[in-house]
Structure 1
Amino acid sequence: MIAVGTGLFTMWNDIPPAYGREFALMHTRDHVPEHMAYLGDDGIRWARRCIDGQGDMPRFFTFYGLTSLDVLTDEKHAKCKVTETAWFLKMRPHYRDRIAYHCSVLASAGGGTGGTVATLLIDFADDARQDAPRLAALVDDLTRLSPVVGAHLAAPEWNVPIRVGEALPAGREGNEAVGVVILEGFDRYELAACLEDVREQLVASGVAARVRSAGHYAQAYRLDYDEIAHLEHFRRDDALITERFDLK
């Protein structure tokens, strides 16, 4: 269940198969903790890393829960910078098909944390984003599908930078109406099997004018902010990581 704050950072990406194992190690053991840490304890409160995507979205999906999107533009956090290690900088050029949004959470329902996740990109129907009762009813209805234990609806905020002090995200033109649906489930294949019903429900509810794309994932890793202090041994320089994991 998404909890704690009102902001989400959502990112989908792919990576060439030749770099898949090293990317998994780098992203889990290095970059996710560094990205979580950079805003302090009132910034990013949790992260989830999802893998093995199936469908018409990139194979990897990562999302982070923020107390509020205000932390990206307020004075208190203005000097915060993500530590980009040598290992991350080595892997970053190999990212493919990256989609990244900072989003406001519009509605959320359910309980627990599912071991599998589905994501759908939609175009909001006219004025649907502002219809809070309709949005709340939709996510509640989605949790009544038997594989769905959590349903969440969010919208990108185009006036918020991807990181503190950086430029506003590109790609706004033609995407002003985009929305993000995240479903959590307890059985990946049952969740995948109900995605066609979800597509129909999103449109029938009047919330979505159309569904652009959808995918389902295994949830591989979850990290809470308060656990970062225990991960010092994860974060090593590139040479040590390469030797330790036999990455040549």
Structure 2
Amino acid sequence: MTLRGSAFLPIWHDVDVQMEDEFNVWHTVEHIPERVDTPGIVVGRRYADPDASLHRYFTLYEAESFEVFASDGYFATANARSDWTQRVHPAFRNFRRAPCHLFMTRGRGIGGGLATARIHFAQPGAGAAAPRDVFSLAGRRIVDGIAKLRHVTSVHLGIVGRVERRPLSEQSLSLRPQATAFDAVLMAEGIGLEAMRAAAPDMEAILHAEPDAVGGCEVATYGLAYMLFDISGR
């Protein structure tokens, strides 16, 4: 499989224009290395689409297990807010993030482009199965359908999990309103940003073809900007 581990953390956001260059340097030099040095975080990736009107940036952290996102090591890192972090964080806008259990993955390799979908479960009628169960049954059809699209190299589907542990800082981005307001995440990798822009409408159509499982989704496309692997052997 392409993703390393059984869980991942997807993050979408924008940055104030006047802080954009500093954000990219901070995120590359300090933030991703800091996170990848956390025990259990094995890969960090940053993607960007400078032409997007919303959520120009997407970050992905791959983890050995979902428990990593509630671990002492992860929270020690998250709560150690450097002066640089405190200078950059107020420039974040439209922040969305929630750790996910990896439900299914198909394909091999790392694509230069990525399409993401934040998915909201359909609300069932009286006596119907739970929304998560209905979505789980549809998940294989969704992944297999998107994996067949032209220039798509791999597809990953995750279901949002809940971490009850709260960060120490009330300024934490994860506490912003609506930050975790979605139920599942689909990520399709492909040969480049333009290829994924072309694939995005078909990807969205495949999701909407499951109305009993998918109540809505927000699709975006990105190009890979930076990636860092943990090579410590932990």
TM-score category, normalised to shorter length: 0.7 to 0.9
Q: How does 1:1-248 map to 2 (within 5 A)?
A: 2-38=2-38, 40=39, 43-52=40-49, 54-55=51-52, 57-73=54-70, 77=73, 80-82=76-78, 83-125=80-122, 126=124, 127=130, 129-130=132-133, 132=136, 134-161=138-165, 175=181, 178-206=183-211, 207-211=213-217, 213-226=218-231
Deviation at 1:173, TM superposition (A): 11
Aligned partners of 2:146, 2:162: CA distance in 1, in Å? 27
2:209 maps to a residue whose letter is: A
Please give the root-mean-square deviation of Cα atoms over the aligned residues, in Å: 2.9
Aligned partners of 2:24, 2:133: CA distance in 1, in Å? 38
Unaligned runs of 5+ in 1: 229-248
Please identify, of 8-17 and 219-228, the stretch whose mean Cα deviation from structure 2 is larger: 219-228
Structure 1 residues 102 and 143, CA, compared in 2 at 3 Å: closer, same or farther?
Answer: same
1:201 maps to a residue whose letter is: I
Deviations 1:78-119 (A, max 9, x none): 874344322222111111111111111111111111001111
2:84 maps to a residue whose letter is: W
Aligned partners of 1:73 and 1:164 also within 8 Å = no
SS in 1 for 2:98: strand
SS in 1 for 2:188: strand
Aligned partners of 1:81 and 1:164 also within 8 Å = no
Please identify, of 159-168 and 20-29, the stretch whose mean Cα deviation from structure 2 is larger: 159-168
Aligned partners of 2:14 and 2:54 also within 8 Å = no
Aligned partners of 1:5, 1:53: CA distance in 2, in Å? 30
Deviation at 1:159, TM superposition (A): 3.3
Structure 1 residues 16 and 67, CA, compared in 2 at 3 Å: closer, same or farther?
Answer: same
Structure 1 residues 140 and 57, CA, compared in 2 at 3 Å: closer, same or farther?
Answer: farther
Q: How many residues align?
A: 222
> TM-score if structure 2 supplies the norm length?
0.82
Aligned partners of 2:33, 2:144: CA distance in 1, in Å? 32
Deviation at 1:7, TM superposition (A): 1.1
